[in-house]
Amino acid sequence: MRQRINVLVTGASGFIGSSLLSCLSIREGIRVSGAFRHQFPNIPPGIQTFQVGDLGANTDWTQALSSVAVVIHTAARVHVMNDLAKDPLSEIRKVNVEGTLNLVRQAAAASIKRFIFISSIKVNGESTVPGEPFTADDQPGPIDPYGISKWESEIGLHQVAKDTGMEVVIIRPPLVYGPGVKANFRRVIHWLDRGVPLPLGSIQNKRSLVALDNLVDLIVICIEHPAAANQIFLAGDGEDLSTTELLQRIGKALGKPTRFIPIPVGLLTFLASLLGKKDVAQRLCGSLQVDISKARELLGWEPPVSVEEGLRKVAEDFMKNKI
């Protein structure tokens, strides 16, 4: 029987981190520990936990990194619409760049074999032309502070890997959905559940998403797969949908009829701009597709969960926990 590999998950109480922790806790051949910011939520039994405080340039990772072979870094300051900070990029850099590079340098000094970084498709950019998806090897084109901070982190990670020989794996997911999803995705589910008519009946864009189960599965494969070393992968479900199609699928998963008002995209975008919601309109009406063929070819990976199954899990969780 082979020796178990020790894995540390940062951001272990977050949306991705908590699901990853649960998955790894029952996986044969892996001993997983979790790093939390301040407090430990309900976690599977037998998992060692570390309270590391705020992620930044001075965070001490010594205890958490002891005896670890692989770090999976999910902790980050997330993208926030209409960030109220005077200098959003400067603030987000403190966590996403300085905090990440502090961790990876300590990981290299502790002889960590592999560092898996959960980045963002925003490193590639904000939109694509329909039928011309982003690929893992495209020239980066981040626009907003979150995407820029993730790109700068990636640059630093590559340099540490070059200097130390530590293996780095970068995964860039698009929008991640699954049980417990929050923000705009949950808000839309709430509207559909209430039968609110939505002015989104004429959108013919194409957008890639990734079910939480699919993203976790890709991350798990990258823990030990030899072909993952020093590579960048894009994550996705392998099926792209228009905004209208996505809402119809969510409605079907909820068992609720969908009610749409077919407002032309140009008019919808114009009205959103007048209301200061141009970014929201871009996400609803624009296309953003990802090509996951690199993960398929190098890792033999296929998304194990279909869009229907992923949305069904979201709908079941929503109906169970809605107030």
Nearest to 289 by CA among 237, 247, 221, 212: 237
Look up residue 13 and give its two tokens.
């109480």
Two structure tokens written together for 52: 């590391």
Strands (E), 52-166: 70-73, 114-118
Contact 211, 305 (CB under 8 A): yes
Angle at 90 between CA 273 and CA 172, to 5 degrees: 70
pLDDT of residue 272: 73
What pLDDT digit, counting tens, does each position of 64-102 carry?
999 999 999 999 987 554 555 677 888 999 999 999 999
CA 78, 219, 95 angle in degrees (round to 5)?
Answer: 25
Beta strands in the chain (DSSP E): 5-10, 30-36, 48-51, 70-73, 114-118, 167-172, 175-177, 209-211, 231-234
In the three-class reduction of DSSP (H, G, I as helix; E, B as strand; rest coil), residue 9 is classed as strand
Helix (H, G, I), strand (E, B) or coil at 10: strand
Return the DSSP state at 79: P
Contact 201, 244 (CB under 8 A): yes
- The answer to whether the CB of 10 falls within 8 A of the CB of 75 is yes
d(CA 167, CA 238): 27
Laid out side by side, the sheet with 167-172 consists of 48-51, 30-36, 5-10, 70-73, 114-118, 167-172, 231-234
Residues 174 and 124: beta-carbon distance below 8 Å: no
In the chain, which residues have pLDDT < 70?
1-2, 40, 79-85, 323
Name the CATH architecture for the domain at 5-178+210-237+289-303. Answer: 3-Layer(aba) Sandwich (3.40)
Q: What are the angstrom distances between the C-alpha of 230 and each of 25, 135, 159, 296?
A: 25, 16, 11, 16
- Mark out the alpha helices in 28-112 (DSSP H runs): 62-65, 88-93, 100-109
The catalytic site residues sit at: 146
User: Is residue 27 classed as helix, strand or coil in its secondary structure?
Assistant: coil
Residue given tokens 């300590």 in the structure block: 106
Identify the pLDDT of residue 80: 52
What is the pLDDT at residue 81?
A: 44
Distance CA 297, CA 302 (A): 10
Cα–chain center distance at 22: 17
